[in-house]
Structure formats: structure tokens, C-alpha cells
Amino acid sequence: MNIFVINSGSSSIKYQLFKMPSTSPICVGLVERVGYGDASITHKTYIDGEEKSITQTMPIPDYETGLNEVNHLLTETGVVKDASEITAVGHRVVHGGERFTELTEITPDVKEELQQTFQLAPLHNPSAYKGIEVAETIFTNAKQLAVFDTAFHQTRPAKAYRFALPTTYYTEQHIRGYGFHGTSHKYVSEQAVAYLNKPDAKLISIHLGNGCSMAAIQNGQSLDTSMGFGPLSGLIMGTRTGDIDPTVIFYLVNELGYTIDQVSDLVNKQSGMLGLTGLSDMRDITKAIENGDENAKLAYDMYAYRIKKFIGSYAAVLNGLDAIIFTAGVGENDAQVRQLTCDDMQYLGIYIDRDKNYTRQPGIREINIPNSPVKILVVPTNEELEIANQCYERLK
């Protein structure tokens, strides 16, 4: 069964094609800088044991152009003969609200409901929706399925997800914490449980990509998570503030004359590491620190300090801790962030091994000292594979 997975971000499209039940992809790709003149597509194929890679730079003004180009590449590189060979398309949709708590087949009614979630995740849901609309016109024979970032966190107890607003704001307007990156937290926590061979392991999963969030997990269930109503609260991110005192927003509006759209743009797109350093990519920020940039150093310290605070908080929620997991672009690759986060955490039984931490290795790995009570794991995430697995389970 050919399952094509699309992970549409705010300006990128990640995709993978699986011939399920095999969990090795036939093709893996990334379209970057959608909406810009210098967009690029990297398309890798794994056919008959041979890896081939194509990179092309071209203007990709919109998702339609991007996905059509991906479709051409799928046929040109022999991944499929034509689009009709795709049985299902699995879409990552960030916000499912309270309505979508599991994998959902996309119907006209579902699409209408999805449009009502745009305001809740303005960087993500509109592009996922666009991805669905374009996929429907290309993969006309395929079932279209949606997997929601919010779904995994639906096991959280009410005391964790409710806000202390008057109750009707929850009962009538569904204003509550939802939590995101659930597909990734689920995938890496399952990998960690298998690695530790401990189904009831008390875990803290730390997903550090462009968006960043943490989750407290036990028995395969999310008990708490750092993102809330939208994917903005909690950790400091590439361009998003994470937690800030809401009084700042009243001040911006009432005293400095900002419109709400300007505030939204500020806290979602101009803040976080970008706002602090002028750079949003951790690789560039690391270089800036090496060149003596004090702002970049402070931003790094703030980034790690925020993670540290959530580790303390989730160790309390779990009443113990077996392992912490670092994952996603920054979590998997940035040893310095892991080091700063785990240094001086002996009180919680967290002892990082500097050499192991700075040694690169593929796959799941342990970076604590041998007798550290808490294991520190680097676990590569694979949201696309998790989505393909869920689609296959539904359709097989």
C-alpha cells in the first residue's frame, strides 16, 4: 500500500512515501522557502537499495506549485508510475481543536470544520489545508487522511489543560490548552519505552525544532505539555516567544498603539531566537557565539534555562523520572543546547556525559554517564513515519 505523507509547515513541505508495511521510505523530500523566489526542493529516493538525491532551486510562489513539482519528481524518479498508484495521503494537521482527537478521513464536512481552526494555528493550519486541497486534485484516487498534533495530548487531565478563566469560556468557546507536536512526542516516547524496555517509564520528551515543546509522558499517555491554546506558549522557539506575561500585550496595544495583528506577527514571527539575535537557525546562532556575539550567548542561555524549568516542573508532575528525550532539528543536532540544559541538574538525578553528548551518531543514543539515575536519550523523530503507520493501521 503506497502511503504518501505531507507535513506542510509555515514555509516548508516535508514529504515521504512508504510502501507499507515496510517502514523504510521509498522517497523523502523537503521543499523549503515556499513563497519565495529562491525556494528549493531536495528529493531523495531509495529504490532497489540505491540512494539518489536531486536538489533544485526555483521560484515556488505557493503550495500548489510546490506539490505539483513534487508530483512530477515522484514520477520522473520512478517512485510511482503515476499519481493513481498512491492509495492514501496522510496529512499532518497541527490543530484539531476538541473536535478531532484521532486520525480522521477528510470529507467536505471535515474541511469546513478545519477552516474554523485557522485562527488557532495561523502559521500552520492554513498551509495544511492548502496541502489537502492541492493533494485532492493530484492524488484523485487516494483517500485523504489527517493526523493531528493535538490528538496525543487529549489524555491530559482537566487540571492540566484548563485555564483559570470563567468556566463558560471553556464550555461555550472551547478555550483550553490543547498541546502540539503530539505525533512527534508519541513517536519518540514509544521509541524510548522500547529502548528502556519499561512500558511505564516516566518520560520527559523535549521537541526542539522551529517550534518547540515538551511533554510529561507515562504509560504511553501525555500528562502535560508546554504548548497551549495555540502553538505559542512554553519554550522559546525559532521565531516565537514561548511564555510571556500577557500584560506585555496590553501594554503594546494600549500604550504603544499596536493592532492585534501586529502583536500576533510580533510574537509569532519576529520573536524567539530571531528577535533576540537576528537569526532563527541554531546553526547560525552557534557561529555567532563562536564569533563572540554576547546577545547570541544570552539567547542560548535563555533557551536552555526555559527547558530546564519545564524539566523541574514535569519531574514534579510525574513524581519521578526515568528518562528525558531530546528530539527534532535542534534537539537531535545541537549538543550545546543539551549540555546547557542538563548541566547542574544533579538534584534531579540528571548527569550528562560531555563526550557522549558531543559525539555524533545516527539513531537512538544515550548521552548520560553510566550510573546516572535518569537516562538522557537523543531520539530522532519521524512524524511522517508515525503518520504513515496510523494511516496503514486504519486502511489495511
Min dist. Cβ of residue 148 to ligand ADP (A): 16
Kindly state whether residue 238 participates in binding Mg ion, applying the rule CB under 5 A. no
Residue 149 is among the residues annotated as catalytic for this protein: yes
* Residue 272 binds to Mg ion (criterion: CB under 5 A): no
Which of the listed partners (ligand UVW, ligand ADP, Mg ion, none) does 322 bind, with a CB threshold of 5 to 8 Å by partner kind?
Answer: none
295 is in an annotated binding site: no
Q: Please answer whether residues 172 and 164 qualify as being in contact, where contact means their C-beta atoms are separated by less than 8 angstroms.
A: no
Catalytic residue among 48, 82, 149, 322: 149
| Contact region with Mg ion (CB under 5 A), list: 98-106, 203-211, 354-362, 371-379 | 203-211
**CB-based contact 80:148 (threshold 8 Å):** no
Residue 8 CA to residue 14 CA, distance in Å, equals 6
Question: In the chain, where does DSSP find H-type helix?
Answer: 63-76, 108-115, 125-138, 158-161, 167-171, 182-196, 247-254, 260-269, 272-277, 282-290, 294-318, 328-333, 335-342, 354-358, 383-395
CB of 115 to ligand ADP, least distance (A): 23
Please report how close the Cβ of residue 215 comes to ligand UVW at its closest, in angstroms. 12
- Name which of residues 181 to 200 contact ligand UVW (CB under 6 A): 181
| Helix H or strand E segment including 32 | strand 25-32
Task: Tell me if 209 contacts Mg ion by CB under 5 A.
Answer: yes
Residue 309 known to bind ligand: no
Backbone conformation region of residue 36, classed left if phi is above 0, alpha if psi is from -120 to 50, else beta: beta
* Interface map 324-363 toward ligand ADP (x if CB under 6 A): ----xxx--xx-----------------------------
| Residue showing the smallest CB distance to Mg ion in the complex | 209
Q: Which is nearer to ligand ADP, 29 or 209 (CB)?
A: 209
Q: Confirm if 279 and 296 have CB atoms less than 8 A apart.
A: yes
Tell whether 211 is in a known binding site.
yes
DSSP assignment of 136-202 equals HHHSTTSEEEEEETTGGGGGS-HHHH--SS-HHHHHTT--S-----HHHHHHHHHHHHHHHT-TT--
The nearest distance, CB 33 to Mg ion, in angstroms, is: 16
Active site residues: 149
Q: By the criterion CB under 6 A, which residues form the site for ligand UVW?
A: 9, 94, 124, 149, 180-181, 209-211, 231
